Amino acid sequence: MAEPIEKLITHNNPKSPISEAYRMLRTNIQFSSFDKPLKTILVTSTGPSEGKTTTVCNLAVTFAQSGSTTLVIDTDLRKPKVHKVFNTPNIRGLTNILVQKDDFQRMVNETAVENLYVLTCGAIPPNPSELLASNAMKSFIEQLRDKYDIILIDSPPVGTVTDAAILSTIVDGTILVAASGVVEIEGLKRSKELLDNVNANIIGVVLNKLDKTAKGNYYYYYYYYYGEDNKTRTKKRRKKKHRTNGTIQNM
Amino acid sequence: MSSLDIKELLQFLRKRWWAITVSAVICTVVAALVTIYLITPMYKANSTLYVYKNMASTDTNDVSYNDLLANTQLVKDYRELVKSRQVASAVISELGLTGVTTDDISKKLSVTNKNETRIIQITATDKDPEQAAKIANTVAKVFQEKAVSIMQVNNVQIIDNATVPKNPYKPNLLLNLILGFILGAIVSCGILILVNYFDDTIKTPEDVQKYISVPVIGTIPVFPEK
């Protein structure tokens, strides 16, 4: 069994409103495609520190909790972070598979979460973009399809390096993480353009770091209402509840 | 600007009420310090005079509208007389002031008449309350003499001598505190609105829809601080 995970809220506190937000994201992904189920999903963002890794890892936990065999791959070959979240060693990983043709089964780490497996990035290569654009990467992802129910791929920011745009062409769908109050309008527009240029299938945007007090952020209150019992917020919740119901039905 | 924008703006400001409050309080404190330590308090002293000038009108019992009108015209004359160099220099020599010009004295004086009556009020302003009273009284005395000789006024009587004022009329501490508070609040609101105006980041799911028309499939609130 792997080391305990401290940072993952979905694992440590599954009943929290935030875990519920991740579960709702999972549901939305599952229902976003009917004909062709989304198996390989790339998660990227416009800039660094918008919450790609956090989103990937928490989302992976909720998928694993729902019984899907889940694999997280860290394709950020420049600043890998996934191994830090799961406390797994990052001595060998994706780059070993791509470069040395090592058996991937031996590279995948188990985690403290049942059904959840992690493939770290491995040694940092000098040419990350070329490596990710290689046929080896493409066939490797194809090969994984049969082994796992869902494969979540963490990547470098699409607005900074081309890696994510390359990867978006070999996956079923791409999720764009946008940090509220951080990402600029023009930046987000450009990210969408970059993904559109390579005909990426953008499933949708995950709005991260949402200020719970800002206008229109009724999702939070919904979770709050069902997640915890707090008498002081009753008035506010009632006001928001009506609108929340409408939104849920629209989804 | 639509009503929705204003609503959002108000919400934005409401969320930052503490910043506005802090700014308002700081400005109030600054206003208090400036008022107490930097502004020299000024005092006002008043003396009142009764000035009677026989009008051209033959029937003195009947105070016509023209008489009243002429009276208010006369107040202007008195004002100029009070502010004249002749009066000022007389005051200077009477009080034995040194290093003071006639202009300085004139600037300290003002003349008003009370409600269309023949009673005029001479106000002297000075940083020293006693000096203000002295000037007001001396001016009244000098005016009494000069008005008769220069303006052919029949009679000038001093009704009230100026007393030494106890409280300065300026600065008004309470008024300055209120102004400081309001100014602080307004300035901080202005800065916040400006910051908000130049903030071109994505904030809400609606922003995402609006700018890139991609569905928002998840919203993750800020993690609570541990």
Cβ atoms of residues A152 and A38 within 8 Å: no
State which residue of chain B sits closest to A191, comparing Cα positions.
Answer: B212
Residue B23: the pLDDT is: 92
Which chain A residues contact residue B204 at CB under 8 A? Answer: 180, 207, 210, 214-217
Within 10 angstroms of residue B110's Cβ, the number of other Cβ atoms is: 16
Q: What is the dihedral of CA B69, B74, B80, B86, to 10 degrees?
A: 180
Report the C-alpha gap between A74 and A199 in whole angstroms.
22
Report the C-alpha gap between A102 and A99 in whole angstroms.
8
Which chain A residues contact residue B8 at CB under 8 A? Answer: 215
The model's confidence at residue A2, banded by pLDDT at 50, 70 and 90, is low
Say if residue B205 is preceded by a cis peptide, omega within 30 of 0: no
pLDDT, chain A, mean: 84
| Secondary structure (3-state) at A133 | helix
A·B CB contacts under 8 A: 113
Residue A82 predicted with pLDDT over 80: yes
**From residue B17, how far is each of A44, A230, B186, B206 by CA, in Å?**
36, 24, 12, 25
Which chain A residues contact residue B211 at CB under 8 A? Answer: 185, 188-189
State which residue of chain B sits closest to A217, comparing Cα positions.
Answer: B204
Angle A96-A98-A104 from CA coordinates, rounded to 5°: 65
pTM as predicted: 0.65
CB contact under 8 A, A213 and B221: no
Mean pLDDT value across residues A208-236? 53
The Cα of A153 is separated from the nearest Cα of chain B by a number of Å equal to 17
The angle, 0 to 180 degrees and rounded to 10, between the axes of the packed helices A17-30 and A52-65 is 80
Which chain B residues contact residue A220 at CB under 8 A? Answer: 219, 221
Mean pLDDT value across residues A121-129? 91
From chain A, which residues contact B within 8 Å (Cβ)? 9, 17-18, 21-22, 24-25, 28-29, 32, 51, 55, 175-176, 178, 180-186, 188-189, 192, 202-217, 219-220, 223
- Our separate counts of H helices and E strands in chain A read 12, 7
Residue with tokens 């202005």: B190
Residue A20 predicted with pLDDT over 70: yes
Phi, psi of A233, deg, nearest 5: -100, 5
Report the C-alpha gap between B8 and A236 in whole angstroms.
17
Q: Which of B7, B15, B219 sits opposite A207 (nearest CB)?
A: B219
Residue A240 predicted with pLDDT over 50: no
Phi, psi of B55, deg, nearest 5: -85, 165
Quick one: A29 exposed, middle or buried, by C-beta within 10 A (0-12, 13-18, 19+)? buried
CB contact under 8 A, A210 and B11: no
Residue A56: the pLDDT is: 94
Residue A243 predicted with pLDDT over 50: no
Instruction: Please count the CA atoms within 13 angstroms of the CA of A237 that sit on its side-chain side.
Output: 15
The model's confidence at residue A211, banded by pLDDT at 50, 70 and 90, is confident
Q: Please, which residues 3-62 of chain B have a Cβ atom closer than 8 Å to chain A?
A: 7-8, 11, 15
DSSP of B73-87: HHHHHHHHHHTSHHH
Residue type, B89: S
Report the C-alpha gap between B44 and B129 in whole angstroms.
7
Quick one: A125 exposed, middle or buried, by C-beta within 10 A (0-12, 13-18, 19+)? middle
Cβ atoms of residues A151 and A144 within 8 Å: yes
Per-block mean pLDDT, blocks of 10 residues, chain B (226 long): 70 86 93 87 87 60 65 76 84 81 84 78 87 87 80 78 83 88 93 86 87 90 65
CB contact under 8 A, A185 and B217: no
Residue B71: the pLDDT is: 66
CB contact under 8 A, A214 and B214: no
| Torsional class of B35: left (φ above 0), alpha (ψ -120 to 50), beta (otherwise) | alpha
> Which residues, including other chains, have CB under 8 Å from residue B68's CB and lie 6 or more apart?
B116
Q: What is the dihedral of CA A34, A35, A37, A42, to 10 degrees?
A: -90
State which residue of chain B sits closest to A207, comparing Cα positions.
Answer: B219
CB contact under 8 A, A186 and B200: yes
Cβ atoms of residues A60 and A72 within 8 Å: yes
CB contact under 8 A, A185 and B207: yes
Residue with tokens 């527009």: A189
Q: Which of B8, B201, B205 sits opposite A184 (nearest CB)?
A: B201
